[in-house]
């Protein structure tokens, strides 16, 4: 029997056995003071607002036995999977692969690439390393989800308008039903956060659903 979550633009009927929690890129370099995001002049406290609600949602998902998947944006140390266009983007003095405050920026195995301790994966939770913004590009996440019979995703993480939004669009095209948990997503730009949610639910839910964590947690219990 599905559990009803009151959501926008209409109720989301969650089938727990076929639903997974996907946590996008809650990495130290994006979220911690002294990381790459902060070095670029971003206010990381805006992203950190998502940590506390996400801790509660993660605890509820774990307690319910739901599959939890974490993603990390990053590249191989030899940069062979880094498109030159991505390396050059922004014309910044410091870019992906260069030394940063927490090791080489967005490089697998470096301290800044890892997930914040508050949300650290536990045994049995797949961690998907992704070279792009979307979690489906050049990763095995689709295979992991299909092998577990997953058809619905609760999507959280950072940033709302970039990696979370891209992942929701990719998942939508592959037939997954996506609910974005609004207070468990965050952006350095509050207006982009709002719009990142608004464009998902526009036109009758063109990419999916949006609901606050308290409703999702209540449905998981
Ligand atoms: C993510 C980014 N995770 N904004 N990356 O959104 O570059």
Residue 106 to residue 111: CA distance in whole angstroms: 9
Closest ligand 1 atom to 163 CA: 6
* Three-class SS state of 64: helix
Say what the pLDDT of residue 203 is.
Answer: 97
Asked whether residue 82 carries a pLDDT value surpassing 90, the answer given is yes
Q: What is the pTM of this model?
A: 0.98
Active site annotation includes 11: no
Over 90: is that where the pLDDT of 207 sits?
Answer: yes
pLDDT confidence of residue 39: 84
Task: Tell me which of 19, 25, 129, 133 is the catalytic residue.
Answer: 25
CA distance 206 to 129: 27
pLDDT at 154: 99
* pLDDT reported for residue 98: 94
- Region 118-123: what's the mean pLDDT? 98
Measured from CB, residues less than 6 Å from any atom of ligand 1 are: 25, 73, 158-159, 162-163
What pLDDT score was predicted for residue 91? 87
86 catalytically annotated: no
pLDDT tens figures, 128-175: 999 999 999 999 999 999 999 999 999 999 999 999 999 999 999 999
What is the number of alpha carbons within 13 Å of residue 154 lying toward its C-beta? Answer: 32
Label the pairing between strands 99-100 and 12-14.
unpaired
90: left (phi over 0), alpha (psi -120 to 50) or beta: left
Ligand 1 atom with minimal separation from the 25 CA: 3
Q: Report how far apart, in Å, the C-alpha atoms of 87 and of each of 74, 105, 106, 115, 117 are.
A: 12, 11, 11, 22, 28
Cβ atoms within 10 Å of 37's Cβ, excluding its own: 23
Instruction: Identify the three-state secondary structure at position 26.
Output: coil
- 74: pLDDT strictly greater than 90: yes
Residue 36 pLDDT level (bands cut at 50, 70, 90): confident
User: Predicted confidence band at 92 (pLDDT cuts at 50, 70, 90)?
Assistant: confident
């Amino acid at each position: 029997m599905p559990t009803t979550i009151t959501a926008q633009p209409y109720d989301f009927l969650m089938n727990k056995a076929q639903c997974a929690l996907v946590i996008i890129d809650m990495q130290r370099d994006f979220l911690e003071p002294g990381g790459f995001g902060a070095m670029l002049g971003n206010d990381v406290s805006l992203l950190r607002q998502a940590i506390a609600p996400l801790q509660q949602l993660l605890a509820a998902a774990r307690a319910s036995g739901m599959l939890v998947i974490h993603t990390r944006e990053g590249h191989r140390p030899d940069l062979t999977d880094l498109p030159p266009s991505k390396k050059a983007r922004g014309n910044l003095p410091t870019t992906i692969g260069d030394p940063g405050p927490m090791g080489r920026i967005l490089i697998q195995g470096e301290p800044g690439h890892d997930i914040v301790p508050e949300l650290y994966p536990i045994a049995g939770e797949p961690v998907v390393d992704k070279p792009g913004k979307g979690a489906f590009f050049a990763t095995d996440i689709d295979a992991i989800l299909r092998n577990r019979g997953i058809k619905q995703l609760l999507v959280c993480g950072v940033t709302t308008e970039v990696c979370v939004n891209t992942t929701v669009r990719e998942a939508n095209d592959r037939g997954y039903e996506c609910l974005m948990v609004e207070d468990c997503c965050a952006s350095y730009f509050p207006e982009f956060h709002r719009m990142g949610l608004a464009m998902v639910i526009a036109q009758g839910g063109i990419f999916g659903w949006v609901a606050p964590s308290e409703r999702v947690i209540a449905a998981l219990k």
